[in-house]
Amino acid sequence: MKIIKLNNTITTPKVHLDAENNIFEIIGASIPENANHFYDPILDWFEEYCKNPNGKTVINLNYKYFNTSSSKLILDLLLILKKMHDGGNEILVRWHYEESDEDMKESGEDYQDIIKIPFDFIEFQDED
């Protein structure tokens, strides 16, 4: 599978998807003007990956902030992971959030309640 490696911008997160090396991460703010345009290649990549996933998939989601249109597409991504999980594949979502960002923690908890796949919540120190 091809590797997706995107640097973050002011409005989009860093994305690194590399199935061969077990790297699945999205890091940063997600407030693109056209969220579908940004996330569609990512969702397509995961749909393809879903056909022949690794034995265990651990995805690191570390959003600083995301807008409403991004939240729907994050849910779409998690639904693809749920499909893999329901098919017997080992899936773990590592949801990272700053210690003072209760809203981001609650967003992850809400996704976990909806999707019903394993989540680890990883709190980290606020950046100075």
* pLDDT score, position 126: 72
Q: Is 51 helix (H, G, I), strand (E, B) or coil?
A: coil
Single-letter amino acid, residue 35: A
Closest CA to 43 of 7, 17, 20: 17
Q: What is the pLDDT of residues 21-75, one digit of tens each?
A: 999 999 999 999 999 999 999 999 999 999 999 999 999 999 999 999 999 999 9
pLDDT of residue 103: 96
Number of structural domains found in the chain: 1
| Contacts with 78 (C-beta within 8 Å, 6 or more apart), sequence order | 93, 111, 114, 115, 117
pLDDT at residue 88, rounded to an integer: 95
DSSP for residue 52: S
pLDDT tens track for 107-121: 999 999 999 999 999
Host domain of residue 65: 4-124
pLDDT of 127 higher than 80:
no
**Mean pLDDT calculated for residue range 73-100:** 97
Q: Which residues contact 47 (CB under 8 A, 6 or more apart)?
A: 80
Considering the entire predicted model, what is its pTM? 0.94
State the CATH number of the domain containing residue 27: 3.30.750.24
Nearest to 14 by CA among 77, 83, 53, 60: 60
